[in-house]
A = this chain, B = another copy of it.
Amino acid sequence: MPGNRQIIVRELPKGALTEAHFALREADRPVPGEGEVLLRTILMSIDAANRAWMQGATYREAVKAGDVMHTYAIGEVVESQDASLAPGDLVAAEARWAEYVTLKARRAQKLPRLRPLSQLLSVYGIAGKTAYHGLIGVGRPQAGETVVVSAAAGSVGMYVGQIAKALGCRAVGIAGGADKCAYVVKELGFDACIDYKAHADSKSLYQALKGVTPDGVDGYFENVGGTVLDAVLPRMNAFGRIALCGMISGYNGVPIPLTQPQLILQSRLRIEGFIVSEHTDDWPAALKELGELVASAKLKYRETVAQGIEEAPRAFLGLLAGRNFGKQLVKLI
C-alpha cells in the first residue's frame, strides 16, 4: 500500500551534519506481523541525543546509512496483530521519521489521552523524566544550594531550573542568545542566565558565571560540554555534583577535551553520566512530582513545532544549532 513518506539517512556525517545527509522517500505502508502493530505517527520528538545515535553504537544500536531515521514518537495504532493493543490506542515508542511504522506491540507504551498531546513528549516524556532524574537522582540538591544548567532554554534545561527553584535552590542557566536568557529569567523564573554566545572563551564565560554564582555552584546539569564545561568546573564547590546528560558541542565530531580534570579531585566532585531510559525506577516519582508542579502552575514550558515529515531534517539541524526554543517537535497530523 502506498502513502508512507519517510526520511532516510543517505549517508552518515563525517563532520557537520547537513540536510544533504537526509532524503525524503515515498515508501509502501508496512504490514504488521504477528505480535506487531501498525502505527500512524502523530508527533515526533527531536532530541540532541538523536545526533549521538549517528556517531556509532553507544548505549543503543547505531543509526546506519540507509536507515529510516530513528526517533521517539507518539502515534495511533491503525492495525494490531497483538492482543495488548487495539486500533485507536495512543502509544509512545521508538519509531522512525516516517508517517507509518510497524513495531513489536511490547515495545509500545500505551498512553492516556491527555491534552495537549505534546506534553506526553515533553514534561511527561523523556525531557521531563530526564530533568527529574539528572537533577534529583544524580544532583541531589538541597534548598539554598546553587544549581546551574546548560542549554537552559532547551527541552530539558527549562525543567531543570524550574524544578530546582521549586526545591528552594538558586537556579542559573547558560543559554545561547539574549532572547533565550530573557525567557529563562522572566518567564521561567530562573535567578540568572548567561548568554554563552556573548563570550569568546571559557575564561570569559567563567567570569560571567562567577558574577551570578556568588556562593559557587553545588549542582551542575550538563547538556553541552566543551568550553561550557571548562567554564563551570572551576566554579564548582567542594562536594559538588555534575549530572552529565548531554555533550551536544561534541556531536559533530569536534574534540571537546576537558582542560582541567584535576579540579574533579581538588574539589572532590562527583560526575555521573546517565541515560534516562535506564532509570525507569525513578519514573513514577518523576511523573507524580512533575504533575504536581504542572497543576500548581510552577512548571511552564515552551515548544517549537515543525509541520510535516519533510521538515524533520531542518528541525533537527535547527535544534543542533540552538535555533529551537524549548521542546522541538515535528507534527505529522
Contact = CB atoms under 8 A, between A and B. Distances in A.
Interface residues of A, number: 32
Contacts of A58: 266
A225 B262 contact: yes
Given A257-B259, A258-B261, A273 B268 contact: yes
Contacts of A229: 261
Interface string A272-301: 111100100000000000000000000000
Nearest to A241: B272
Interface string A67-89: 00000000000000000000000
Interface in A227-277: 229, 238, 244-247, 250, 255-262, 264-275
B247 A257 contact: no
Given A238-B59, A258-B257, A259-B257, A264 B268 contact: no
Nearest to A58: B266
Number of copies of this kind of chain in the complex: 2
Contacts of A257: 257-261
Identify the interface centre among A59, A247, A261, A272: most chain B CB within 10 Å of its CB.
Answer: A261
Given A59-B238, A238-B59, A225 B261 contact: yes
Given A258-B258, A259-B257, A264 B275 contact: no
A256 B258 CA distance: 9
B258 A267 contact: no
A273 B269 contact: yes
Contacts of A260: 257
Contacts of A244: 264-265
18 contacts: A58-B266, A59-B268, A225-B261, A229-B261, A245-B265, A247-B261, A257-B257, A257-B258, A258-B258, A261-B261, A264-B271, A264-B272, A268-B272, A268-B274, A268-B275, A269-B271, A269-B272, A270-B271
